[in-house]
Amino acid sequence: MWEALQHTGWVTTLATSRWLYGLVSVVHYSAVFFCVGTIVLMDLRILGVAYRNQALSVLAEQLRPWTWIGFGAVAVSGFLLFAVEAGDFAAVTPFRLKMLVIVLAVVSALAIEWSLPKWDRAPVVPVTARVVALISILLWLGAILVSVEIPALTGLG
């Protein structure tokens, strides 16, 4: 299935055009930094180390659209870059691990979104919230770590 994707017309166009591939990479890198940056900021706020003078919900309201638009751009551009070497990526453990870590990271982000109104109403940010925020930071930074290890370990990318 992934091998077939790799050999479809538009994917070979992307793979053989240095400019197109470069452009998609620029979108992917910029959006990753923006998406992870805004998520980690929110997590740091929950942990009580950043932006303490603002209510959780006010900062969340500000960052949320940017985070998810960024994530959408990451996912689309990431899929395009994956497609170029789809068969190879799908076969190696580091790439599968990366996908797993990202799924877990998204789950943690959704869990935070879900619970935020409740945490915001509490007089002090609950311990559970801090633990989830810390896990979220570790998962998102872990996703970047796995990503840089893929070329180092497999030569792909």
Q: Which residues bind another protein (CB under 8 A)?
A: 18, 21-22, 25-26, 29-30, 32-38, 40-41, 44, 50-51, 53-54, 58-59, 61-63, 65-66, 141, 144-145, 148-149, 151-155
Output 4 or 100, the one with its CB closest to another protein. 100
Q: Which one-letter amino acid corresponds to residue 59?
A: L
Inter-axis angle of helices 18-47 and 9-16, nearest 10: 90
Write the DSSP symbol of residue 122: S
C-alpha closest to that of 126 among 140, 139, 136, 112: 112
Output 124 or 152, the one with its CB closest to another protein. 152
CB of 53 to another protein, least distance (A): 7
Output 65 or 117, the one with its CB closest to another protein. 65
Using alpha carbons, list the distances in angstroms from residue 69 to 27, 53, 64, 72, 128: 12, 26, 9, 5, 27
CB of 114 to another protein, least distance (A): 20
Output 4 or 148, the one with its CB closest to another protein. 148
Letter string b/e over residues 47-60, b meaning 16 or more CB atoms within 10 A of that residue's CB: beeeeeeeebeebb
CB of 22 to another protein, least distance (A): 6
CB of 1 to another protein, least distance (A): 27
CA pair distance 29, 115, nearest whole angstrom? 29
The two tokens of residue 17 are 């055009």
Output 30 or 115, the one with its CB closest to another protein. 30
CB of 23 to another protein, least distance (A): 9
